[in-house]
């Protein structure tokens, strides 16, 4: 539903300007919830602003539901629900008049009122419908922005940091809302919060310096972590150095970290070579040496570590 | 022009949700009254016309219109709502036109509210109502010209204060284009056709022409095309400044 082809945005002059987005090519299908990750200034928001037709690409193309965003911006905008960063809304309007305005611009006609009632219920805005938006709390303002984005039941939903600055309960609400809507839509959301990606996204993209540098399911990305499939054990009756050397002799083990001994308990983390699982071997080793096993834990890899590694390298 | 009407409605209603509209109308009518009766001496002149009012109108507009136009785009840019507005299915020209028309309708309304002056002179004597209608049309066109200039300036900045001051300067330039302070600046180095061109831009001379009761096609075309040019420029400025 979203197709980006070498999408590029340069701010300023061709020689001295800043290349904010550098040839991003990707496709998002219906049913996908795509998490857009990247450090601040990586080009996430700029990419979203081009897809939604706010900024004009310097080169490359963006198509939404088959419509080119430069050639037919209105058709694209009709099919997108967009929550800009910080959920801007007219401060002196009430949520009611604001949603009514959006419905009129979107020419919703007779079905406007029923849809407004539905989304108001869905994002729980009914208590503040007639208060000026400027008097609302951050959480309610965000809900107003979300209500506006889903008002016309768009095929494509683009959310720029939808949970930024919300408290844990509000974050949870927004995430459940996104999960509810996934399936019938293509959803793209940007975030800094990696647990969010694991919680709601079916696919994650890491972008840095304007380029896509990783693309996969959250699990696949986590698997790029150094500690993916690593095994942490705690055993009794072993000597620290002996444990380390024994672990290192297992063929799938690349390295051993965090070896330490307190009282009779000896701990170590065996890092697996890429593509190897070592839990079985480590278990047999412990059994064969007759050590008393206190703990054995397999790591799946951590997204934040992968994120740091690949966004800071190069 | 898609989407101009909902934007027009929202903007126009927006003037009346906040005290802006009421303050503007009250101040406008108050100053109009002071200028017409105190400074202009409507009664003392002993003539049944609205000249004292229309003589001061351009100067009143010079300060009040930039105060209306300064927020048009600067506020959207500061609040980030411009991103929301321009990602709704509206065309950029629809947005520019909708906002401009709302501001114009609003200033038009405040101009209409000076009707007690018209009633007064009609009660006291037999004024030439053709001249008065012509002057009202001229006033409305002048307001439109100032608002279009103000839209364009407002699109260029996030600061309403800057938008106000710069619009005021440009409007002053247009107002005085046919008069010595502006023309002296160009005399001596600019060729005479430029000076003629500049003096033909004078709002004041155009407005006086309309004030004689002659709604000439030339003046009409002048104001309408000036509005068109500045609104077009506003659209370009918005496109250029979006990224900031």
**In this structure, what DSSP letter does residue A291 have?**
P
At residue B5, the pLDDT reads 93
The overall average pLDDT reported for chain A is 87
The CA-to-CA distance between both ends of chain B, in Å, stands at 25
Q: Is A242 left (phi over 0), alpha (psi -120 to 50) or beta?
A: alpha
ipTM above 0.95, yes or no: no
Mean pLDDT calculated for residue range A39-44: 86
Q: Do A74 and B80 lie within an 8 Å CB cutoff?
A: no
Chain A within 8 Å of B196 (Cβ-Cβ)? no
Chain A within 8 Å of B2 (Cβ-Cβ)? yes
Q: pLDDT tens for residues B180-222? A: 777 777 777 878 888 777 877 888 888 877 777 677 788 888 8
* Residues of chain B positioned with their CB less than 8 A from the CB of A52: 87
Q: What residue ranges do the domains of chain A occupy?
A: 2-222, 231-298
CA-to-CA distance for B161 and B143, rounded, in angstroms?
Answer: 20
Alpha-helical regions (H) of B48-125: 51-69, 71-79, 81-85, 92-112, 115-124
The overall average pLDDT reported for chain B is 88
Mean pLDDT calculated for residue range A278-303: 81
Q: Do B87 and A93 lie within an 8 Å CB cutoff?
A: no
Q: Which of A67, A90, A135 to mutate to test the interface with B (most CBs of B within 10 A)?
A: A90
CATH code of the domain made up of A2-222: 3.40.50.300
Q: Which of B10, B80, B243 sits opposite A86 (nearest CB)?
A: B80
Domain that holds residue B211: 4-241
Q: What is the pTM (predicted TM-score) of this model?
A: 0.87
Mean pLDDT calculated for residue range A191-209: 88
- pLDDT at residue A189 tops 90: yes
Mean pLDDT calculated for residue range A50-71: 93
Chain A within 8 Å of B16 (Cβ-Cβ)? no
Burial class (CB in 10 A: 0-12, 13-18, 19+), A274: exposed
The sheet with strand A211-216 has its strands ordered as: A80-83, A156-160, A186-191, A33-37, A203-208, A211-216
**What is the token pair recorded at B233?**
């420029």
Q: Do A84 and B83 lie within an 8 Å CB cutoff?
A: yes
- Name the residue with higher pLDDT: B42 or A49: A49
**Lowest-pLDDT range, A153-162, A264-273, B230-239?**
A264-273
Q: CA dist A143 to A89, A97, A121, A151, B81, Å?
A: 11, 15, 11, 12, 16
At residue A59, the pLDDT reads 92
**What is the token pair recorded at A42?**
């990586």
At residue A120, the pLDDT reads 93
**CATH class in words for A231-298:** alpha beta
- Name the residue with higher pLDDT: A55 or A231: A55
Please count the CA atoms within 13 angstroms of the CA of A69 that sit on its side-chain side: 30
Q: pLDDT tens for residues B128-152? A: 888 888 889 889 999 999 999 999 9
What is the percent of chain B where pLDDT is above 70?
99
At residue A289, the pLDDT reads 77
Q: pLDDT tens for residues B90-124? A: 998 999 999 999 999 999 999 999 999 899 888 88
**A-to-B residue pairs, Cβ atoms closer than 8 angstroms:** 66
* Residues of chain B positioned with their CB less than 8 A from the CB of A85: 80
Q: How far is A78 from chain B (nearest CA, A)?
A: 5
**What is the token pair recorded at A309?**
């590694």
Q: Count structural domains, chain B.
A: 1
Mean pLDDT calculated for residue range A92-115: 93
Identify the band that residue A301 occupies on the pLDDT scale cut at 50, 70 and 90.
Answer: confident
Is-contact A55 A49, C-beta < 8 A? Answer: yes
Q: How far is B85 from chain A (nearest CA, A)?
A: 9
- Name the residue with higher pLDDT: A240 or B82: B82
**In this structure, what DSSP letter does residue A184 have?**
T
- In the block, residue with structure tokens 């010209």: B145
- Name the residue with higher pLDDT: A17 or A158: A158
At residue A242, the pLDDT reads 77
Q: How far is B166 from chain A (nearest CA, A)?
A: 25
At residue A313, the pLDDT reads 66
- pLDDT at residue B2 tops 70: yes
At residue B47, the pLDDT reads 76
- pLDDT at residue A257 tops 90: no
Neighbours of A244 (CB within 10 A): 17
At residue B213, the pLDDT reads 66
3-class DSSP assignment, residue A208:
strand
3-class DSSP assignment, residue A292:
strand
- pLDDT at residue A314 tops 60: no
């Amino acid at each position: 539903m979203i197709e980006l082809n070498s999408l590029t945005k340069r701010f300023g002059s061709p020689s001295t300007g800043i290349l904010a987005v550098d040839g991003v090519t990707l496709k998002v299908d219906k049913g996908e919830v795509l998490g857009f990750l990247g450090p601040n200034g990586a080009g996430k928001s700029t990419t979203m602003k081009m897809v939604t037709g706010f900024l004009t690409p310097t080169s490359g193309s963006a198509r939404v539901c088959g419509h080119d965003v430069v050639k037919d911006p209105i058709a694209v905008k009709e099919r997108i629900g967009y929550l800009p960063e910080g959920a801007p809304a007219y401060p002196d309007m009430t949520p009611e008049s604001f949603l009514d305005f959006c419905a009129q611009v979107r020419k919703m006609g007779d079905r406007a009122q029923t849809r407004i009632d539905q989304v108001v219920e869905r994002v729980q805005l009914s208590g503040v419908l007639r208060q000026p938006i400027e008097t609302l709390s951050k959480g309610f303002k965000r809900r107003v922005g979300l209500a506006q984005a889903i008002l016309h039941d768009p095929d494509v939903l683009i959310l720029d940091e939808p949970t930024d600055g919300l408290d844990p309960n509000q974050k949870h609400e927004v995430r459940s809302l996104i999960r509810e809507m996934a399936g019938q839509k293509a959803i793209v959301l940007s975030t800094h919060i990696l647990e969010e990606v694991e919680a709601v996204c079916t696919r994650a993209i890491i972008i840095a310096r304007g380029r896509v540098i990783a693309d996969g399911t959250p699990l696949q990305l986590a698997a790029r972590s150094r500690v993916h499939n690593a095994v942490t054990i705690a055993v009794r009756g072993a000597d620290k150095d002996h444990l380390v050397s024994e672990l290192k002799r297992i063929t799938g083990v690349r390295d051993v970290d965090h070896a330490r001994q307190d009282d009779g308990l000896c701990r170590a983390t065996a890092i697996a070579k890429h593509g190897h699982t070592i839990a079985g071997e480590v278990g047999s080793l412990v059994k064969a040496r007759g050590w008393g096993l206190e703990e054995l834990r397999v790591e799946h890899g951590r997204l934040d570590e992968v994120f740091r590694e690949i966004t800071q390298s190069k | 022009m898609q989407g101009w009407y909902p934007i027009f409605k929202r903007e126009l209603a927006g003037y009346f949700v906040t005290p802006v509209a009421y303050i503007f109308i009250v101040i406008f009518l108050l100053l109009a009254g002071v200028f017409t009766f105190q400074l202009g001496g409507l009664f003392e002149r002993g003539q049944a016309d609205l000249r004292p009012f229309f003589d001061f109108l351009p100067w009143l507009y010079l300060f009040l219109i930039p105060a209306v136009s300064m927020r048009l785009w600067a506020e959207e840019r500061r609040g980030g709502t411009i991103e929301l507005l321009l990602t709704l299915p509206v065309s950029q020209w629809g947005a520019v036109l909708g906002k401009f028309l709302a501001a114009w309708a609003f200033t038009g309304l405040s101009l209409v509210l000076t009707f007690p002056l018209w009633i007064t002179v009609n009660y006291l004597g037999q004024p030439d109502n053709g001249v008065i209608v012509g002057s009202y049309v001229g006033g409305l066109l002048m307001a439109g010209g100032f608002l279009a200039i103000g839209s364009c300036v407002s699109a260029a900045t996030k600061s309403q204060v800057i938008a106000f001051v710069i619009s005021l300067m440009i409007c002053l330039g247009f107002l005085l284009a046919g008069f010595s302070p502006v023309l002296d600046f160009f005399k001596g180095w600019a060729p005479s056709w430029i000076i003629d061109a500049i003096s033909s831009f004078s709002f004041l001379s155009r407005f006086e022409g309309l004030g004689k009761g002659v709604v000439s096609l030339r003046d009409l075309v002048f104001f309408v095309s000036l509005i068109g040019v500045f609104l077009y420029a506003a659209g370009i400025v918005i496109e250029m400044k979006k990224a900031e």
